[in-house]
Structure 1
Amino acid sequence: MQKKQITPGEIRQCISNILQFIGEDVNREGLQDTPDRVLRSYTELFSGYNIDLEEIFRAKFADVQSFSDVILLRDIEFTSMCEHHMLPFEGSVDIAYLPNSLVLGVSKLARIVDCFSKRLQIQEKMTSQIGNAIQDFLSPQGVAVRVRAKHYCMVMRGVQKKRSVMETYHYTGSFLQDKASFLNLLF
């Protein structure tokens, strides 16, 4: 059975319905264009579903003069959306990998983060997706990923802990046997 494609008009109507549900007047000046603005912002916020990972990984370089030490890119900023409450979480990603014979263009590591952060998900899933994508496409000796994030589902509602930061880690290959080496690079 073919899945029904939802139209932009149907999305606008859903946003209008939500505004009415919370008690707003959808005809007041400040809200007249809100369904359109939300539609455009969702297109941007969830653009990761349309990013082609294979295209990102085409920027691999083999002429690295036998470079075989750790490559680390720190503090890659991101914003994502929690799949449980559709509220943002934001923070930074640190990625390290130990190349076999190929290295990736440095900006491509940030694009990988964008690919997975611009989706509905949980932080744990995003962390492993980033690490596994690098492992699968680049075949390094190992990958290590740390994600640190503030979750607005904890800040704005529920327990309301404004300063809490969640950290998640994912390791592959050589970093699985030596997690301390990644942590030593970070601290």
Structure 2
Amino acid sequence: MNKHIADTKNNDVIRPTQAEAEAAVKTLLLWLGEDTSREGLIETPKRVAKAYKELFSGYQQSPEEELGTVFEEVAGYKDMVLIKDISFFSHCEHHMVPIIGKAHVGYLPNGSVVGLSKIARVVDMFAHRLQTQESMTAQIAHSIQNILKPLGVAVLIEAEHMCMAMRGIRKQGSTTLTTTFTDAFETDIANQVRFMTMLRSGS
């Protein structure tokens, strides 16, 4: 009998073994009416399990690890830092089909800044989990706020959901926009306007 493996990031979650994951994929293929013994599908359960490990690798990462190093020598810089057009793909937690989009993240430094690639890594980390766009937007903003403690954070995500394009209503090209503002962005509408202006104008 296969023993379950305890999740290293969440002790409350018991993870099935690799063999159990592959068996589950095989069960789905059989449920679809496929012949799992044919040449093209023999290795599919193993390939799908391997792909899922990569696609959902965000569960094994933490924002604290990604944002742990900051730079305090910023020559007195206090203005907004804006990272635009961070491409990502995620998966809808309702149907497990892709969400494809871009994230835009701005923050007001409070004496220190973080490497630009770290912001992109945080976006990527949360994208590599089952998500709703609303939750992902809030998770990115609040993680940056709570760990870096800037004066404020602004996050805008625009994405297309394949659960709308591939199934159900089947409308391609429809884009969803979500925002989350914290602290100085939440309390001062002028900061929100400036964030949106910089985002749309490229200034």
TM-score range, shorter chain: over 0.9
TM-score by length of 2: 0.89
Q: Which runs of 5+ in 2 are unaligned?
A: 1-11
Q: Which runs of 5+ in 1 are unaligned?
A: none
Q: Distance in 2 between matches of 1:6 and 1:55?
A: 26
Please give the per-residue CA displacement for 1:45-82, whole angstroms capped at 9, x wherever unaligned: 11001113222112201110110000000000101010
Aligned counterpart in structure 2 of residue 120 of structure 1, from 119, 123, 130: 130
Q: What does 1:2-151 correspond to in 2, within 5 Å? A: 4-151=14-161
Would you identify which runs of 4 or more consecutive aligned residues in structure 1 move more than 6 Å?
none
- Name the TM-score, length of structure 1 as normaliser: 0.96
In structure 2, how many angstroms separate the alpha carbons of the residues matched to 1:3 and 1:46? 15
Tell me how far apart the structure 1 counterparts of residues 25 and 105 of structure 2 sit (CA, whole Å).
Answer: 37
**SS at structure 2 position matched to 1:162:** coil
Q: When the two structures are aligned, how many residues end up with a matched partner? A: 186
1:183 aligns with 2:196: yes
Percentage identity across aligned positions?
A: 44
- Determine whether 1:159 maps to 2:159: no
Q: Is 1:74–1:94's contact at 8 Å kept on the other side of the alignment?
A: yes
**How far is the alpha carbon of 1:30 from its aligned partner?**
0.7
Map Cα deviations across residues 119-140 of structure 1 (whole Å, 9 max, x no partner): 0110000000000011001111
Residue 182 (structure 2) pairs with residue 169 (structure 1):
no
Task: Output the CA distance in 1 between the equivalents of 2:107 and 2:13.
Answer: 40
